[in-house]
Amino acid sequence: AAAFRARYGMDRGGRMMPGGPAAPPPPTDPAQAGGALAANSNQVAVITLDCRAVSLAKLAPGANVPDTDIAFAVEKELKESALFNVEGTALSPQISQPDEVTKTFTFTITVALKTPIKL
């Protein structure tokens, strides 16, 4: 746990410490040196997130917040994260229509890890 916090610049409460995370180690794989993701079956470099959010337009009709604004805000925060590559993080163009019962909508975001997870 201490190694994880040190690697990602977090304090014991899980908050980012001033100064941000430590610089990631330089890539050792030639395929990663050029910014391309390595094609290795023993590591995870890309993750697809299926997200569900509350539709403020359905919950509070006067809120005037389109569902796309929420999806774009999530994408923006993920792109600004120290854990993901900006180039490999993208919002899918398909954003579902809000469900009338649950008042939620779904969208998909693909994120590319700066440091792939070795299995």
In tens, the pLDDT along 12-57 reads 665 555 555 555 555 555 444 444 455 667 899 999 999 999 998 8
In tens, the pLDDT along 62-97 reads 777 888 999 999 999 999 999 999 999 999 999 999
Query: Under 8 Å CB-to-CB from 41, ≥6 apart: which residues?
Result: none
Three-state DSSP state, 17: coil
Choose between 82 and 58: higher pLDDT. 82
Structural domains in the chain plus CATH codes? 30-118 (3.30.30)
Phi, psi of 68 (to 5 degrees): -65, -30
pLDDT the model gives residue 34: 42
Q: What confidence category does residue 5 fall into, taking pLDDT thresholds of 50, 70 and 90?
A: low
**pTM: predicted TM-score of the whole model, two decimal places:** 0.63
